[in-house]
A and B are shown apart, each in its own frame.
Chain A
């Protein structure tokens, strides 16, 4: 098995990379990202000023909330992963993706049969009140269809060629796509058929699988790919890579019930999930140690914005996973569950870890498109604003969660916990400025500058 496969590839993508599809999905990713964070911002504003929604049903808080998370997961991260896959899969497998024509279909279905109509239907009042599954059932059909097409598109090259050269990123890509296809219907359809507490057991699984089997594997595929490709050094240990991979796929799905600790779901299932959550932290330590040992001595931080995004994302991955292990413990969970602490946790995972990794992947691929524009300084500026934004937001929400937990434990009336949280909600709303600005600057860095500057920068390293 070749640890240094991406590292061995030349800085320019081989001709088999469908650069237009990289570009199309990259663009779609960034556009849907901006729209998705606007939904999030509106939801944050409405928590500070509930009257801001006006009297129209289209902009009420609940609908903003649904569109925010679905947009982030499917629109932003989905497109970003596809963009990265179009860059990475040919390099990893040495084969073209199955079909560029199919690529156009995937692009069309994903954006114009899933994300766009999903958003509109939610705004119009057609949705499903299940976390990470808010788009209505009709949309889910197209998600499943797209996932099947994506498997044909991206796994084809691996199976048509020498599987023995499978690099760890390839493992994550195969695992991520296959298990998302398996888990998605479970999370979206089963609770419609299995009611109440029994359905909640499945919802709990999906809440974690969405992050653990879709977002994490594909984000890690990017991290494992970009590090050796950008530093020119192989991954520290292939054994640790594989150990991390298998532990992840063993442990992640077993975490689900930790969203319903102290519920009526049998205690033995809750405890099993808590143990798996604890062990997951250990697994992440292994993965992250391996990644940082690979980054050691490469000057990764000043070297390259893509690498820096990926490295920082890895740092957040470690922190958010340890935090996850801690907050799954009964003693912690009973206080912080249901509070803003958890909202902070999700933002560290989706923004700090996954979005940083995805940005790293997009920037990395972008630098290697000969005709693409690129401006190092703008991407740099975006990085710093985002770093500040995510730390401010997660820090703010974490403290808010502790304040709420304290209020709930006291004898104070419920509304006191709302009053106490308001200043933190204002700060959270304001973190939109560095976060939104950061994304805009990164985006500007990919559309301003001279065509081919990215390639020049790569060549200079």
Chain B
């Protein structure tokens, strides 16, 4: 009887270990093999591995628990794909030892963070997130900096380098990579729809772009606009729109001072919807259109019309000459920011037809340049008379009612 019982314990014990081994085979090893096959079939020929700096950044991302608030996994679901972009393929995480998928999403998913925001924005945000995103609950990583958001230490640079790898390989491989992966993945119809559907690879609403359609803005509501402005814009542009918000301290170019600039509605709509590429100004495509329209109205109201002095004709003639010789290459002969040299710069040249700086701002820009942009100071090239003539002249392009 006793030996029989002992036997039954042995059988039970082996059975128990068998259950455990079965779970590993069924849910670990077998899916692993299936994933390996899928990776081999779908990955691009030479996905770039992480550099040393990116690797170090990954370690920082891991040790600070970033993955515990930010997932790196766009699920095969309508809502995930709509918010973040195409669903994550297995090969996209092949360099992740260990994986950083995450199981909690307090901040947005970061699978497609590469190229979404400017470095100065990222640094300022890492330095103290609430300076830019007022309601953020993200921890401040000030110890990665030398006491200022524009003085990142190596660790902060590494971390940003790593963030710029997230989603990079798939973006680099597209469009051939997408076709290749789609043709070889043996996905179900559903999976194919989420991983290779019609939407953008990166659906981030904040990614700035230099050109793009802008939907028609509805009627604005200035009261609502003020709320939205305070929540989203005041952190950099300041409570009164004077470009003096705390979050702007580490940004170059500095956030725009709306008090000294007049904008056409179209220009504001474009900047809100598409961001200002090459600057820290993100796009706001996730904000309701009604709210964007209302914010645009708030921004317009920051500027109060000044009495315009009458400019003598000879000054304007001088301005026109200086402009066509010195400015038109970038700003375009009609001031539309479409000069032949404009395309080579990461930041678009100002279009004076849709915005008009006040005289003081215009003079300042010509004299000092605009730091962080290709606009250089002209004092060594132009006489005082030429400088002011040009500053006057560029203000004549503005066409109200645009």
Residues of A whose CB lies within 8 Å of any CB of B are: 46-48, 50-51, 53, 55-57, 60-63, 65-66, 125-131, 162-164, 166, 175, 178-179, 182-183, 186, 190-205, 207, 213, 246, 249-250, 253-254, 256-257, 259-267, 269, 272-273, 334, 337-339, 342-343, 408-409, 411-415, 418-419, 422, 425
Contact = CB atoms under 8 A, between A and B. Distances in A.
A50 B137 contact: yes
Contact of A195 (B17, B38, B61, B96): B96
A271 to B, nearest CB: 11
Contacts of A259: 103
B351 interface: no
Contacts of B19: 249-250, 253
B23 A205 contact: yes
Contacts of B92: 196
A103 B349 CA distance: 75
15 contacts: A47-B106, A47-B137, A48-B137, A50-B139, A129-B61, A130-B99, A162-B2, A192-B97, A197-B90, A198-B35, A246-B15, A264-B76, A264-B89, A272-B26, A334-B77
Interface string B191-203: 1000000000000
Interface stretch (B127-135, B242-250, B340-348, B381-389): B127-135
A199 B97 contact: yes
Interface stretch (B65-73, B252-260, B322-330): B65-73
Chain B residues touching A, range: 35 or more
A129 B103 CA distance: 12
A129 B62 contact: yes
B194 to A, nearest CB: 9
A338 B30 contact: no
Q: Nearest 5 A-B pairs (CB), nearest first? A: A62-B65, A196-B93, A253-B23, A129-B62, A191-B98
B168 interface: no
Nearest to A134: B65
Contacts, number: 237
Contacts of B205: 413
Given A60-B141, A415-B135, A254 B65 contact: no
B140 interface: yes
Nearest to A179: B20
A108 B58 CA distance: 34
* Most A Cβ at <10 Å: residue of B19, B98, B139, B288: B98
B153 to A, nearest CB: 12
A44 B76 CA distance: 31
B83 interface: yes
B62 A415 contact: no
B108 A414 contact: yes
Contacts of B64: 60, 62-63
Interface in B252-311: 284, 286-288
Contacts of B61: 129
Contacts of A195: 93-99
Given A205-B28, A249-B19, A413-B286, A50 B68 contact: no
Nearest to B105: A338
B20 A46 contact: no
B104 A338 contact: yes
A263 B79 CA distance: 14
B9 A163 contact: yes
B35 A265 contact: yes
Contacts of A256: 23, 27-28
B79 A409 contact: yes
Contacts of A162: 2
Contact of B32 (A194, A249, A267, A418): A194
Given A339-B105, A411-B288, A418 B137 contact: yes
A53 B139 contact: yes
A46 B139 contact: yes
A57 to B, nearest CB: 5
A51 B2 CA distance: 66
Nearest to B2: A164
A337 B77 CA distance: 12
B65 A129 contact: yes
Contacts of B9: 163, 166
Interface string B1-44: 01001100100100111011011101110111011101100000
B368 interface: no
Contacts of A342: 103-104
A418 B79 contact: no
Contacts of B89: 264
B103 to A, nearest CB: 6
B211 interface: no
A263 B139 contact: no
Nearest to A136: B63
B31 A131 contact: no
Contacts of B80: 262
B48 to A, nearest CB: 15
Nearest to A413: B286
B2 A200 contact: no
